[in-house]
Amino acid sequence: MSLLSLALIVFSGFALFDAAIRREDGFRAADKKTKPFWLIILGIAFVVSLIFPILSFLPIIGLIASIVYMVDVRPALRSLPGGGRSSRGGGGSSSDGPYGPYNGGR
């Protein structure tokens, strides 16, 4: 049972971490609630899996929330251009517009 509980903690922790690194506008673009909504839900699921035993009611609800994120929301975010991840540290220049690089009217 402790191995199953550890697996649940790792799974919900990964889902929380994955939601935290996604861009906020990606959630709206994929039409999947908002980033704060998923961070709160997955954060509660993670904390509940740490506190309560696996066979109680609350960790099972948290597991369902984590599964919904992983099989529905995460693939929708990954299908967006850039994978829905934050683009800190590169990816484009400061002159890039929404349709590609700006060439100064040439």
* Residue pLDDT, tens place only, 33-57: 999 999 999 999 999 999 998 888 8
Question: In the predicted model, is pLDDT for residue 104 greater than 80?
Answer: no
Give the model confidence (pLDDT) of 20-30 as tens digits. Answer: 999 888 898 88
Cross-strand pairs, 97 = 100
Distance of CA 50 to the CA centre of its chain: 19
DSSP state of 81: G
Return the biggest CA–CA distance within the chain.
66
Share of residues in the chain with pLDDT > 70 (%):
76
Q: What is the pLDDT of residue 44?
A: 96
Which pLDDT score, from 0 to 100, does residue 62 have?
93
The owner of tokens 């903690």 is: 9
Q: Which residue did the predictor score with more confidence, 77 or 105?
A: 77
In 3D space, the residue among 83, 91, 77, 1 whose CA is nearest the CA of residue 33 turns out to be 77
Would you state the pLDDT for residue 68?
A: 95
The pTM of the full predicted model, rounded to 2 decimals, is 0.73
pLDDT at 32 over 60: yes
Q: Is the pLDDT of residue 12 over 80?
A: yes
Token output for 78: 């990954």
